[in-house]
Amino acid sequence: MSAKLIDGKAFSNQLVDKIARQVSLLQSVHHFTPGLAVILVGEDPASQVYVRNKAERTKKSGMRSIEHRLPEQTSQEELLALIDKMNRDEAIDGILVQLPLPAQIDDKAVIQAIAPEKDVDGFHVVNAGLLATGQPGIVPCTPYGCLLLLQDHFGDLSGLHAVIVGRSNIVGKPMAQLLLNAHATVTIAHSRTKELEKTCQQADILVAAVGRPEMITGDWIKKGAMVIDVGINRVPAPERGEGKFRLTGDVAFDSASRQAAAITPVPGGVGPMTIACLLRNTLVAACRRRDIVIDEF
């Protein structure tokens, strides 16, 4: 039996449509349009693609997209000054600084400089602390997108055993907090976990976020599990021609889909959900800052 393919693109389109309807309502009833500012420092090709996609989707949802492209040699002081200006700009509801940043800039200092109520990445320690203590804040986009896919598949996650492979601040740790808050039993595993394969075999929910191409194979997966592949790895694809690449996840898709009940593909799984959740966070941030109550989803 082959796993059900989770179509993150279709799911995220529905989410963006829902956001667009809310944005339209805010415009007609409250006479404002939420604005998302994205800052890119330098010329990293992958970051350029991400930022372009974010801006496109923001505009598609009816929100305002404000883009700042700064040169590679921008100093930390210059970046902090721009963030300070945007923190005080009433028309900006969300601020995202694309990572990674050039070496002369301390990314932690930059993240902490963003006003927590405009931190639509959910990376600020205030938002991380609120999530860790089960209080409403702004939640990181990729794990939130994964949670929505899991809840769509399982409904209630109570008592399910979730194994997360990866312990980053961006995915692994917040994913664990979200799943705990949803009453799952959570194991965080990583590259130094002893018997990693056995640990994964116990998972009803397996979230792979290690950044190692196709590390998790079918024999690591319990029959009937749901597999969420967060990895986006560029690997050489000589069969497509010299110097060509293909995108692959942290999960070996073919063998995993023979074991799992449901699996997210790469690309087209978690990726599109991340951007949809960024727009969701911007909408939520805009409404909370103005004390407008909406149905948060």
Tell me which residues are annotated as active site. Answer: 54, 98, 121
C-alpha torsion 265→147→12→272, nearest 10? -50
146 sits near ligand GUN (criterion: CB under 6 A): no
Q: On the CB side of 255, how many CA atoms lie within 13 Å of its CA?
A: 12
- Of 38 and 251, nearer to ligand GUN (C-beta) is 38
93 sits near ligand GUN (criterion: CB under 6 A): no
Q: Which of 3, 12, 296 is nearest to 152 (CA)?
A: 12
- Of 11 and 144, nearer to ligand GUN (C-beta) is 144
Q: How far is Cα 236 from Cα 56, in angstroms, rounded to an integer? A: 28
105 sits near ligand GUN (criterion: CB under 6 A): no
Tokens of 294: 């909406």
Tokens of 106: 């301390």
101 sits near ligand GUN (criterion: CB under 6 A): no
Quick check: helix, strand or coil at residue 251?
Answer: strand
- Of 99 and 126, nearer to ligand GUN (C-beta) is 99
Q: How far is Cα 69 from Cα 87, in angstroms, rounded to an integer? A: 18
In this chain, which of 6, 92, 97, 232 binds ligand GUN, going by CB under 6 A?
A: 97
The stretch near ligand GUN (CB under 6 A) out of 95-103, 143-151, 238-246, 281-289 is 95-103
Q: Output the smallest distance, CB 73 to ligand GUN, in A.
A: 20
98 sits near ligand GUN (criterion: CB under 6 A): yes
| Amino acid residing at 111 | I
Q: Tokens 């309807």 identify what position?
A: 21
Site residues for ligand GUN, 49-78, by CB under 6 A, read none
Binding site for ligand GUN (CB under 6 A): 96-99, 121, 141-142, 170
